[in-house]
Amino acid sequence: MKTFNVSDSIHQQAIPHSDQDVTENCQWQSGQQTPRTFCLINQKGGVGKSSSCFHLAGAYVSLGLRVLVIDTDPQGSISQGFFGSETVEQLPAEVTVAALFDDRWSFRDWNALIHETRFDGIHVCPANQRLAEFNTPCPEELGPIQYSLREFVEEQAGYDIVLIDCPPNLYRCTWTAMIAADWVIIPVTPEDFGTQGLRAVHQAVENAGVLNRNLRRLGHLVTRSDGRLLIHKYYEHRLRKLHGELVLDNFMPELSAFKVAVANRTPVQFHSPKSRAARLTRSLCREILDRTDVKTPRRRAA
């Protein structure tokens, strides 16, 4: 059977990053033996998990890093962001992340899950509704299949960064992502965030940490904030007061450039590289690397 390749179906040339980016990239450590793996989680919907993941992927590639995006959300938002909804909905389960959750598919060729995109350096393991049946509650009661995504990630030595986009709940897909990841990023909108909701997220990270000793909270990422709204300022202030260092300095404000770029299925870094949105995303991706102890050019020069 011919392996389905998403890139076959979109008939577009890969878009390379610019020469200027390549020059800048040389200063970054690429080609580590194992990738740095981040999962973006929050049980609250619409906080910008997929959007942040999508734009971060573009920003990392512009730094010369190779990125694998893994979609563990049955909604398949980020997959659709890269490939369009029609293509993604038609993908058979065996070429999507669902194959990793289904023990009938053990010992298969996992390369079939990795799809090229139009962007040099970004590959995607897509998801669609076929993943929904596996996203069950009480994931900690599952057997060794909990580790399947982790085992898959551990084999991906060709990437520098793995970004795992999770669904808006703390069920099996998010759990499995936390078992596979080194770092958790928690996107939070600065309004009505409810400490109770976040408490459940923190508890889930702690529980997953029992099985994955490498798992650490990188921090909360303030998303979709509107600096003109007092209420957003208030909630952001409160979040920073409550969680201190565990709130990233950089943030993803509500900007139309992010939306327009998604609508064009292109990370903002490539869609409008000079925009404020692209600049902020680059800053954020540097801070994330800094927080994982990767030396930045600024630090090295010091």
Binding site for ligand ATP (CB under 6 A): 45-51, 73, 75, 77, 167-168, 223-224, 252-255, 258-259, 262
- 77 or 135, CB closer to Mg ion? 77
Interaction partner, residue 209 (ligand ATP, Mg ion, none; CB < 5-8 Å by kind): none
- Strand-pair partners of 221: 187
Interaction partner, residue 156 (ligand ATP, Mg ion, none; CB < 5-8 Å by kind): none
Nearest to 239 by CA among 192, 286, 281, 206: 192
Measured CA to CA in angstroms, residue 263 lies from 54, 106, 113, 126, 272 at distances of: 12, 36, 24, 18, 13
- 45 or 194, CB closer to Mg ion? 45
Q: Please tell me the distance from the alpha carbon of residue 68 to that of residue 297, in angstroms, as a whole number.
A: 23
- 54 or 60, CB closer to Mg ion? 54
Q: Please tell me the distance from the alpha carbon of residue 13 to that of residue 28, in angstroms, as a whole number.
A: 26
- 72 or 269, CB closer to Mg ion? 72
Residue 41 half-sphere exposure, CB side, CA atoms within 13 Å?
34
Nearest to 293 by CA among 32, 22, 24: 32
Cβ 262 to ligand ATP shortest distance, Å:
5
Interaction partner, residue 259 (Mg ion, ligand ATP, none; CB < 5-8 Å by kind): ligand ATP
Cβ 221 to ligand ATP shortest distance, Å:
10
Cβ 190 to ligand ATP shortest distance, Å:
12
- 55 or 150, CB closer to ligand ATP? 55
Tokens encoding 37 = 């793996």
Interaction partner, residue 282 (Mg ion, ligand ATP, none; CB < 5-8 Å by kind): none
Cβ 82 to ligand ATP shortest distance, Å:
13
Cβ 300 to ligand ATP shortest distance, Å:
30
Measured CA to CA in angstroms, residue 14 lies from 171, 214, 265 at distances of: 35, 34, 13
What residue type is assigned to position 121 of the chain?
Answer: G
Interaction partner, residue 16 (Mg ion, ligand ATP, none; CB < 5-8 Å by kind): none
Cβ 255 to ligand ATP shortest distance, Å:
5
Nearest to 184 by CA among 77, 290, 292: 292
- 78 or 162, CB closer to ligand ATP? 78
Contact 169, 43 (CB under 8 A): yes
Residues in the chain: 302
Cβ 162 to Mg ion shortest distance, Å:
17
Query: Which residues contribute to the site for Mg ion (CB under 5 A)?
Result: 49-50, 77
Tokens encoding 275 = 């925009």
- 63 or 222, CB closer to Mg ion? 222
